[in-house]
C-alpha cells in the first residue's frame, strides 16, 4: 500500500482547515474513549485501536463513520497494519494520541520477585508509544500533532507503583525532547498529565473524588487547540508550581494518594 507523505511542510493553521484524522490508541474505554467522543463531536474523523473485540464492535455500532481497529500496539506487525488501515480508510493522519497504558502495583519489600510481567508493562507504557511515534513520523513527517498521555505521577512517582512512575517519567522526558526536535517542522507535541481519573484502570482506587474522563478530554482538546505543550487537568494544574515551592512535601502527598 502506498504510504502518504506530505511533500511540502504546511503550517499548522493550513493543516487544521480540513476535517482532521485522529488515531487514538487504547480508545475503547476511559480517557481514550472520551477523547474519541470529544473529537467526533468536533467533526473529526476518528480511528481507535484496542484489544477487546467486544468494545471495538460497540464503537463501530455507535460510530459507523469512525474506524475501530483490533491491534496490540506492542506488536510491530499490528502497528503497521493499523497505520495501513488508517491510510486505506482516511488517506491521511493529522493527530496521533498515544493513550494505551496500564497501571501495575509492585511491592519491592514483599520478599517476592516484584518484577513479574515487567517487560509487558514497560512495552505498553513506554516502548510502544515511542515506536509508534517513530513509525508515524516516517509516514507523515509533518503530522499536525502528537499527543502523549503520561500522568501527574510522572512528576511525583507513586510509592505503590514504582515502575509505573518510572515509565511515565520516561515518556514525559521523551515528549519534552521530541517537542524541541520537531519544532522546526511546526509539529505540535502535547503531553497530557491527568490526575486520578474515573476509569476502569482506577476502579479499585478508594478515593471518592476522581476526575471524569470527559473533563480530562475537554482540557486536552483545549490545550491541543491552543498549541500548549502540556494539558494539566484538575488539581494537576498546580502540581508543577507546588513541586517548585515544596518539592518534598508535594511528592510525599502525591505519592501516597
31 lies in some domain: yes
4 lies in some domain: no
82 lies in some domain: yes
5 lies in some domain: no
12 lies in some domain: no
86 lies in some domain: yes
Average pLDDT across each block of 10 residues of the chain; the chain has 257 residues. List them in order: 38 58 96 96 97 96 97 98 98 97 95 96 98 98 97 88 96 98 98 75 53 90 96 78 72 67
Asked if 164 is an active-site residue, the reply is yes
191 lies in some domain: yes
Show the CA angle centred on residue 192, arms to residues 94 and 234, nearest 5°: 135
Predicted confidence at residue 203, as pLDDT, reads 47
164 lies in some domain: yes
Predicted confidence at residue 58, as pLDDT, reads 97
Q: How many CA atoms lie within 13 A of 112 on its CB side?
A: 5
What CATH number has the domain bearing residue 48? Answer: 3.40.50.720
Number of domains in the chain: 1
Of the residues 69, 164, 211, 250, which is catalytic? 164
Cα 84 off chain centre by: 20
Predicted confidence at residue 239, as pLDDT, reads 73
Range of the domain at 89: 19-200+209-255
pTM for the model: 0.86
Amino acid at each position: 500500500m502506498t504510504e502518504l507523505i506530505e511533500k511540502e511542510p504546511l503550517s499548522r493553521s493550513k493543516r487544521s482547515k480540513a476535517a482532521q484524522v485522529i488515531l487514538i490508541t487504547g480508545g475503547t474505554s476511559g480517557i481514550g474513549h472520551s477523547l474519541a467522543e470529544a473529537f467526533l463531536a468536533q467533526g473529526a474523523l476518528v480511528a481507535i485501536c484496542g484489544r477487546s473485540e467486544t468494545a471495538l464492535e460497540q464503537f463501530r455500532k455507535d460510530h459507523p463513520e469512525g474506524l475501530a481497529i483490533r491491534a496490540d500496539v506492542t506488536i510491530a506487525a499490528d502497528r503497521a497494519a493499523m497505520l495501513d488501515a488508517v491510510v486505506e480508510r482516511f488517506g491521511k493522519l493529522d493527530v496521533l494520541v498515544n493513550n494505551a497504558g496500564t497501571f501495575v502495583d509492585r511491592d519491592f519489600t514483599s520478599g517476592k520477585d516484584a518484577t513479574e510481567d515487567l517487560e509487558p508493562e514497560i512495552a505498553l507504557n513506554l516502548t510502544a508509544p515511542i515506536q509508534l511515534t517513530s513509525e508515524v513520523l516516517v509516514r507523515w513527517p509533518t503530522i499536525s500533532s502528537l499527543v502523549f498521555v503520561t500522568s501527574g505521577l510522572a512528576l511525583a512517582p507513586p510509592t505503590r507503583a514504582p515502575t509505573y512512575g518510572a515509565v511515565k517519567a520516561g515518556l514525559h522526558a521523551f515528549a519534552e525532547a521530541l517537542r524541541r526536535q520537531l519544532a522546526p517542522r511546526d509539529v505540535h507535541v502535547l503531553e497530557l498529565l491527568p490526575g486520578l481519573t474515573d476509569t476502569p484502570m482506577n476502579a479499585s482506587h478508594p478515593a471518592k473524588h476522581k476526575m471524569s474522563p470527559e473533563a480530562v478530554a475537554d482540557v486536552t482538546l483545549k490545550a491541543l487547540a491552543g498549541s500548549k505543550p502540556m494539558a494539566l487537568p484538575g488539581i494537576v494544574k498546580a502540581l508543577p508550581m507546588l513541586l517548585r515551592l515544596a518539592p518534598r512535601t508535594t511528592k510525599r502527598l502525591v505519592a501516597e494518594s
